[in-house]
Amino acid sequence: MKKIAILGSSGSIGIQTLNVVRMHPDEFEITALCVNKDIDTLRKQINEFHPKFAGISDENAYLKSKDLFANNITVFSGDNALCDIASLDVDILVVAVVGMCGLRAVMCALSRGTTVALANKESLVAGGKLVTDTAARAGKRILPIDSEHSAVWQCLHCGFDRELKRIILTASGGPFYGHDRNFLQSVTPEMAVRHPTWNMGKKISVDSATMMNKALEIIEARWLFDTEKIDYIIHPQSIIHSMVEYIDGSIIAQIAKPSMELPIQYALSYPKRIKYDAAEFKFDKNLTFSEPDESVFPLPKLAKQVLSCGGNAPCVFNAANEACVQLFLDNKIGFCDISINIENILNTWDFIHNPTIEDIYDTFNEVYEKLMTDYNK
């Protein structure tokens, strides 16, 4: 029986993690659940899964609801709730929170030797070297919960590291793939938040439309699989979740219906596979592929440059994007200004070669504030 704790249990990945746990009561048990402030969802989850611990990051939400919790559950609250839960004795910590708060929690868990199943992009993008060094010291792996990285991970079982030629991430291309820069100038927030395959939040929908999502995934893949041999290809049907090419020219692909439960379940059940009751896969789609046009969507290419810079550059890249997406959604900047601003900030920001965790948080906040104040004057 694996003991599981979930940070962000009321969000989409958290809920789907609990779906997986519900399907396999003989494999997994929930030790702890943590939310930001969605008390209603947390209480329903506690009633069903009976964890010993719960966390509520929002202090006010906790104070309003603390009488509602039974005596046999320990409730952590406030800014430190994530780290309190991340420091518990469990087999796997699922980090499904959104944003930079994930970094500190991931570091807490890895430092005490807990395996982390990671859905939080920010921690690996902004703190990749810190996180992977800490994992290596603890002798622990970071297990990916993302359809692309789970696919790469599964394909990498077909050969040795030294036999790897390249990782090939697949990208849907987003809703504007095939259009030119001229068209992109006219893209509004309403147009950008409609995604062809996945139903997602606004931030990630804009990231998909600018292909920043793929850019962040390139950076994540570098840290998860310890290689910079990473390419990507446009595959609009999102049926092949990613591929790995070996030195003999063999390309291994992972295929499944688009569902996040599968990568979640694989991370939880690894190294074994367990049954998943999905409807049978139907080979009823023609799969197509094309090379990305980086003159129209420059962010994935920029991600590779950011990786070779290292230091706090990936953090600057991510922070500038978060600010720009917000500014775009608030109608303060245009769609194409997102990548232009990110590149400008990268070219001018102070470079820190070996950032500490505090440097990472400072860099993030300073870049974000700088862009927000520049456009909100």
Site of interaction with Mg ion (CB under 5 A): 146, 148
Rounded to a whole number of angstroms, the minimum distance from the CB of residue 249 to Mg ion is 26
Q: How far is the CB of 289 from Mg ion (least distance, A)?
A: 17
**Three-class DSSP category at 38:** coil
Q: Which residue is nearest to Mg ion (CB)?
A: 146
Nearer to Mg ion, 148 or 322 (CB): 148
Distance CA 58, CA 51 (A): 19
Under 8 Å between Cβ of 176 and 206? no
Minimum gap (Å) between residue 147 Cβ and Mg ion: 5
- Shortest distance in whole angstroms from residue 206 CB to Mg ion: 15
Number of Cβ within 10 Å of residue 278's Cβ equals: 11
Nearer to Mg ion, 106 or 345 (CB): 106
Q: How far is the CB of 169 from Mg ion (least distance, A)?
A: 8
Closer residue to Mg ion in complex, CB, 84/146: 146
Q: What is the smallest separation between the CB atom of 172 and Mg ion, expressed in angstroms?
A: 9
Confirm if 288 and 177 have CB atoms less than 8 A apart. Answer: no
d(CA 129, CA 211): 23
CB atoms within 10 A of CB 212: 28
Task: Give the tokens for residue 289.
Answer: 């592929």
Collect contacts of 107-114 with beta carbons under 8 A, ≥24 apart.
107/131, 107/134, 107/357, 108/82, 108/83, 110/134, 110/135, 110/138, 110/140, 110/142, 111/138, 112/87, 112/138, 113/138, 113/139, 113/140, 114/86, 114/89, 114/90, 114/140
Of 56 and 152, which has the nearer Cβ to Mg ion? 152
Nearer to Mg ion, 146 or 245 (CB): 146
Nearest one of 262, 208, 216, 261 to 236, comparing CA atoms: 208
Neighbours of 350 (CB within 10 A): 9
Q: How far is the CB of 220 from Mg ion (least distance, A)?
A: 9
Compare residues 85 and 95 and give the one whose CB is closer to Mg ion. 95
Nearer to Mg ion, 148 or 245 (CB): 148
